[in-house]
Structure formats: C-alpha cells, structure tokens
Amino acid sequence: MHICNLARFGLTLTALLSASTAAARDDMTHEVCSPDTRTCFLLTTVGEIPTYRVTRDGKPVIAPSRLGFMLRGDGKFEHATALGQASFSEADERWEQPWGENRWVRDHYREMKVPIVELIGGKRRIELIARVFDHGVGFRFAFPDQPQLHDVQIDEELTEFNIAGTAEAWWIPAGEWNRYEYLYSRTPANQVGTAHSPISFRRDDGLHIAIHEAALVNYASFWLQRIDGQRFRTRLSPSSQPSKVRRAAPFETPWRTILIAEDAPGLYAASDMILSLNEPNKLGDVSWVKPLKYIGIWWAMHLDQASWHSGPKHGATTENTLKYIDFAAKHGFDAVLVEGWNDGWDGNWIGDHGRNFDFATAYPDFDMDRIAAHARKMGVAIMGHHETAGNSGRYAAQMDAAFDYYARHGIPAVKTGYVADAGGVLHRDKDGNDIWDWHDGQYQVRHHQAVVEAAAKRRISINAHEPVKDTGLRRTWPNMVSREGARGMEYQAWGDPPNPPEHEANLAFTRMLSGPMDYTPGIVSLVGKGGRRIPSTLAKQLANYVVIYSPVQMAADLPEHYEARPAAFDFIKRVPADWEVTRVLGGAIGDYAVFARQRRGGDDWYVGGVTDKAARDFTVDFAFLPAGKRYSATIWRDGAGGGIDGDPFAMAIETKTVTAATTWPVRMAAGGGFAIALTPAR
C-alpha cells in the first residue's frame, strides 16, 4: 500500500521517488488503527530504515521515528531492511485486578505484527508487534531464534519518539546519581535532556502524550535521550557486562508505550493500557496479597529522633514496637513497619555498601518472637524491612533464608530498599570480584523479579524503595504491590529543597501513570527535621491518600502527632487503600489534581484534591455517584486564613447530603487541598 499513507508521513513525492529508487521496498506501509479508528500506528521503511509514526484523527502525534538496534557481533540492525507481510488480530477482554485502582480493566486493541528483514549480510529478522488502543499505542520487538541471531547482545536500542507539534514536557533526569528522586522539571520539549519515563508532554493544542514502557522483564530500562528538536531516542540503562542486554532468542523486548489523551485526567485514565500489556497473573491464588494501611517506626528516624543503628536512640526496640502495635490495633491499622531491627546498620551502612547487613538476625534489643506473638494477638501484622544499600548480591544470597525467617513470624509484606548512588548496585562475579550495576539495568531488573518470586513462594508482598520504575508487572506478579521510584515524603523531613507544593500534582500525571507509589503520606504535624515547616496544608495531607494511589498506604507521622490532630486522623483512619473504581475529576500537570475513588467491594466514595502553590477553586461534580442515591458527604478542607503562607493547619470540616446531581464548589488554599468521604445516607 499506500502512496497516500506515505504522503501522510510528510514525505514529498520527490523524496518518495528517490527513496524508492534507492530501495524498491520503501513503498510498503502497514497500518493498524485503534478500535475507535482514531489512533493509528503506521510502519514503513524510509531509506530502508524501519520507521513508524502515530496519528490521531489523521494528524501526527509521533512524527516519523526510526527503529533499530545496535547488536554486538553483526552490527547495527537498522539499514537495508524491508518489511514483510503484516498479520492482524484484535482483542476485547475484561480482566479483574486482585487489588488496584479499578477492579475491572478493559483490554481492547487491534494488533499488527510485521517482520522486519535485513536485505544484506546475515539477513537477520526481527518482528515488530504493535497494539493500538483508543488512547494509546504499545509496540515491542520479537527476536525469533535464528542461527545468525541466537545469543542476542544488545548494545543499544534505537527506538525513536519524535513528538509532533510544539509541546511542553514534565520530566526528571535519567542517568544521574539519585536514581528517580528528582524534582520534576517543566520545560519546552525541545529543552529536555535525558529523561526517565514516564515523561508527559502537553502540546500547544492541548493534546497530552506520555511515553513509558510496559512489561520490563529481563531487559534494561530505557532512558529517553533527546537527540534534536523534540526527537527522543531510547538509551538503555548501562550494564557491567559488555552489552546492555543479553538474551537467548527467542524473546520479546518490553513494550514501548505512548499514551494519548485530550487532557491530564485522560492520561491517567488511559494508563491502565500499561497494565494490560503485561502478562496475566502467574501466581494463581493471590487472595493472600492484601492491601493494607500501616504505621511505622520510620518518621522518627527521618526526623533524627531515633536511629536505625543500635544504641541509645535505637528505634526498633521491643518496647517501642509493642507500643506501635498497640497504637495500630487501637486505631484500626493493619500493619506496623519496623526499620532498623536487623544486624548491619551500625557504622556507615551506605558507605560500606551494606556489606554487614544480615537479614535474619535481629538486634539484641528486638525480640522478634515476642513481637510477632503480640502482633498476632492484637490482629496487626508486622511489615518487614530489608535495606540492602544496593548490595543486591548479598541480598540475593540471603533472601531465601530472610523470607523464611519472616514467613515463620507471620510477616505478609516486606519493604525493600536499595539506597546507593545510581550505578552503585553491588554484586560479585564467580571469582568474588565486586561488580557494579545500575538500579534500572538488566541485572537489577532480574534481581527484582527474583525477589518477588522468592517472596511469593512464602506469600509475602514486596514494596521496593530505590526500585526500578514500575512497568505494570503487578499484573503478572500481584505481590509486587508498591514501590517508591520518585521523591517521597522523606524529602519533607530532610530534602534540600523539600518537595514543593506542585509535587503531588506533578506525580499524579507523570510517575503515577506507571503504577502505585509508596509515597508515605499523612504528616499531620507539618514539620520535618529540626522543626522545619513542610510546604503543605493539613487538608492536603489527607487529600494525598486519594490522589497518590498505593495498595500499601502509610500513616507516616508519629503516633503522638496523630493523637494531637484527631479530626485529621479521623479521615486517615477511614480512607481505604483498595478501590473498586477510580475517576479523575480534574487536573492539569503540576497545577492540581482531583480524584474520586470507590472503596473496593463497598459503596463509600472518597474524593481528594491537591493544588500547587496557587490557591484554586474547584467545583466537585458528584455525577460519578449512582443516580438517585443520597450520600452523606463530609469534607476536610482548607479553612479561612489557611494555606502555606497563612495558617496551614486551618481546616474546616462540614457534612452535607449530596446526590449525583449535586455540585460543590471548594476552595483550595495555596499549597492546600481537600478530602471528602461519602457514605450512603440513611
């Protein structure tokens, strides 16, 4: 086909003719469009280089962008290629999340598979698989087994994303020392450097585009390196090995994903495409994976009021842990996170690269048997903690014993941690030499998968800090419940600078497109280390429980701070961590975000709204409620004189009856927000 399709690539007829004299095969273009036909993915070759583009309503979203690989051995796979016959299929299925933002996810797409064949040399062949959804595209490469391409060593992947139309971008830098823990930059798209994904773009005409990946399994993560203008190319995270990725064919790369929506709420709504591109659950019965709300021996360390290491300030003592368990039981929390309970924190655990951590030996002042027995009696779980300091090799060697130890003590979830500079993931070669890898390279991607599988054997869920980015693997391994992978609340204790007021409105439409975040909300004291003020209102701390999704959701502040703020604590105690349905009621990246979510298996709803440093009026339209039913709605909102420049604790609480026909104007103060709990009226 299709001269006309090629013309839609923006090629002149002359260019087309000269290209096709150079390569007789350049006239072949294959196209697949979404079920609603508005979004299309087109694949052709230009100058015998595989080139794709994406359109919406016939207009370019991704302008012509090259595809290819740098392969070790036989060199670049890109030039002198031709396309083979395309084959097509489609699917429209609904699948159930065991836990999540929505119980049901619709997986609805049209798919095209196209062989890409070298015309020269070893005549190697790969296959491009594209799935086009109404609000996005996923494509990946399959490497079939062939004598000339069996031991596949990928030095670089050359997938480009050439953003069409002038756009702004929200992004964090990749390849820098602090992994994913950066403040979001908002720049013209043509001023991005090298960025992590998800990266979100807003075009001048309002169209929103977000680029990410799905099903990152046994491969290196990509960074997006800007080449020129608004043209980006994948740059795979580095490896200690000669090639960034080494795989035996046959295999498939992760999906490269492009979400397309009219606005920021649409981007969030479209992001379940990333989940759908992952394989279904491989763990069978996962009823043991339980969303939970937890408190923890945690914030005190970040305030420097307690220590992870042993000594007079040791936080994880038996006595302290028993107190936390009692507090959790009294207030209906499911679990208590305990950090700093195990051997290895003394001295410089970061500088020593965690070489002293022992994951199954408790400090002498931490009586695990007694604590586990008390927790069981009180109906509260312990959330375990494995800080590795990036020493994944040491952890991998101990993890079976470590998970057995936790399983023996009835521990259902473990927070892991990899505090080390990027490039500081340590393991050993077979001769015992130190090897250094990246937090998002192929080695560590495999490590996380091994951890999650070892944990699953013991019915333990994993919440990883300093992780690799989320690519929807929770669909396949539902015990991979949450992760960090962005600046969390800890930065409000000691970050320089702390997270600014726009942070949550940035996260909602960037980081959160990839999946749950263990943000650790709920600092109702609004003070960090040394008494420094947190740039947030009290009401916003509550709103974060609805805006920033995680199936393991922390009430991160100290128990005494909750006791001092009972009205705020009331909302934190009520809000669930698992949802039936999610609706994004409004938002603009980095400005504000308003979410409504229905409790999983319940008929109560929650609404959370956050704003940046600007005060903002938002009218909540309750049209998401079932028609004809009356709800009692209680709001926790910024009060008169509130805001980060006024009294951040000023909070008004009111209750009224609403129906699907009600609208309720709410004022968010500077750096503020609001939270609403809705229960059916009696």
Secondary structure (3-state) at 508: helix
Candidates 48, 181, 490, 580; catalytic one: 490
417 binds ligand NOJ (CB under 6 A): yes
371: which DSSP letter? H
- Alpha-carbon gap, residue 255 to 557, rounded angstroms: 38
Residue 135 sits in the site that holds ligand NOJ (CB under 6 A): no
Q: Smallest distance from the beta carbon of 372 to ligand NOJ, in angstroms?
A: 21
Nearer to ligand NOJ, 212 or 465 (CB): 465
By CB under 6 A, the count of residues binding ligand NOJ is: 8
Residue 400: in which H helix or E strand, if any? Answer: helix 392-408
CB of 635 vs Ca ion, minimal distance in Å: 32
Nearest one of 519, 633, 517, 638 to 568, comparing CA atoms? 638
- Of the CA atoms within 13 Å of residue 151, those in its CB half-sphere come to 3
What is the smallest separation between the CB atom of 359 and ligand NOJ, expressed in angstroms? 13
Q: Does 528 engage in binding with ligand NOJ (CB under 6 A)? A: no
Using an 8 Å Cβ cutoff, are 593 and 513 in contact?
Answer: no
Binding mask 357-396 for Ca ion (x = CB under 5 A): ----------------------------------------
Cα angle, residue 373 at apex, residues 368 and 377 outer, rounded to 5°: 145
Q: Who contacts 37 (Cβ-Cβ below 8 Å, separation ≥6)?
A: none
Residue 557 binds ligand NOJ (CB under 6 A): no
By the rule CB under 6 A, 465 interacts with ligand NOJ? yes
Query: Contact between 386 and ligand NOJ (CB under 6 A)?
Result: no
CA distance 543 to 632: 18
The stretch among 285-293, 430-438, 462-470, 571-579 that binds Ca ion (CB under 5 A) is 462-470
Select the residue interacting with ligand NOJ from 339, 504, 580, 591 (CB under 6 A).
339
Which of 127, 156, 437, 490 forms a contact with ligand NOJ (CB under 6 A)?
490
Q: Does 350 contact ligand NOJ by CB under 6 A? A: no
Whichever of 103 and 415 has its CB closer to ligand NOJ, that residue is 415
State the nearest-atom distance from the C-beta of 419 to ligand NOJ, in Å. 5
Residue nearest to Ca ion (CB): 465
- Is 542 strand, coil or helix? helix
Cβ distance to ligand NOJ smaller for residue 518 or 638: 518
Question: Closest distance between ligand NOJ and the C-beta of residue 16, in Å?
Answer: 54
Q: Which is nearer to ligand NOJ, 39 or 416 (CB)?
A: 416
d(CA 616, CA 596): 18
Q: Which of residues 102-131 bind ligand NOJ (CB under 6 A)?
A: none
Cβ proximity to ligand NOJ: between 491 and 618 the closer is: 491
Does residue 213 belong to the site contacting ligand NOJ (CB under 6 A)? no
Query: Looking at beta carbons only, is 135 or 386 nearer to Ca ion?
Result: 386
Q: List 634's β-bridge partners, or say none.
A: 655, 677
Nearest approach, Cβ of residue 406 and ligand NOJ (Å) = 16
Judged by beta carbon, residue 459 or residue 469, the one nearer Ca ion is 469
Q: Which is nearer to ligand NOJ, 168 or 484 (CB)?
A: 484
Shortest CB 420 distance to ligand NOJ, Å:
10
Q: Evaluate the CA torsion angle 333, 335, 341, 346 in order and state its sign.
A: negative
Looking at the Cβ atoms of 427 and 465, the one nearer to ligand NOJ is: 465
- Burial letters for 307-340: b for 16+ Cβ neighbours within 10 Å, e otherwise? bbbbeeebbbbbebbbebbebbbebebbbbbbbb
The yes or no reply on residue 616 touching ligand NOJ (CB under 6 A) is no
Q: Do the Cβ atoms of 114 and 84 come closer than 8 Å?
A: yes
Cα 281 from Cα 100, distance rounded (Å): 14
CB contact at 8 A, 152 and 146? no
Between 50 and 516, name the residue whose CB sits nearer to ligand NOJ: 516
Residues near 312 by Cβ (< 8 Å), separated by ≥ 6? none
Q: Which does 417 bind (CB under 5 to 8 A by kind): ligand NOJ, Ca ion, none?
A: ligand NOJ
User: Active-site residue 490, yes or no?
Assistant: yes
Report residue 503 as tokens. Answer: 């942070």
CB 554 within 8 A of CB 490: no
> Of 12-20, 68-76, 94-102, 458-466, which part binds Ca ion (CB under 5 A)?
458-466
Q: E-assigned strands of 304-358?
A: 335-338
Least Å distance, CB 418 to Ca ion, is: 9
Q: Which residues contact 107 (CB under 8 A, 6 or more apart)?
A: 91, 92, 93, 94, 95, 276
- Round to the nearest angstrom and report the end-to-end CA distance of the chain: 64
**Which residues have C-beta within 8 Å of that of residue 105, sequence separation ≥ 6?**
94, 95, 96, 97, 272, 275, 276
> Taking the complex as a whole, how short is the minimal distance between the CB of residue 373 and Ca ion, in angstroms?
31
Contact of 468 with 444, CB cutoff 8 Å: yes
484 binds ligand NOJ (CB under 6 A): yes
Instruction: Name the binder of 495 from ligand NOJ, Ca ion, none, CB < 5-8 A by kind.
Output: none
Q: Sketch the per residue contact string, 418 through 447, with Ca ion: x for CB under 5 A, - otherwise.
A: ------------------------------
Instruction: Compute how many other C-beta atoms are within 10 angstroms of the C-beta atom of residue 509.
Output: 30
Residue identified by tokens 């020493």 is 391
591 touches ligand NOJ (CB under 6 A): no
Q: Which of these segments, 112-120, 256-264, 457-465, 559-567, binds Ca ion (CB under 5 A)?
A: 457-465
In sequence order, what E strands does 121-166 have?
125-133, 136-143, 151-157, 160-163
- Exactly one of 156, 387, 470, 578 binds ligand NOJ (CB under 6 A); that residue is 387
Identify whether the C-beta of residue 39 lies closer than 8 Å to the C-beta of residue 59: no
Query: Minimum CB separation from ligand NOJ for residue 298, in Å?
Result: 6
Tokens at residue 490, please? 């800890």
Q: Which residues bind ligand NOJ (CB under 6 A)?
A: 298, 339, 387, 417, 419, 465, 484, 490
Which residues are the active-site residues?
Answer: 490
- The contact set with Ca ion (CB under 5 A) reads 465
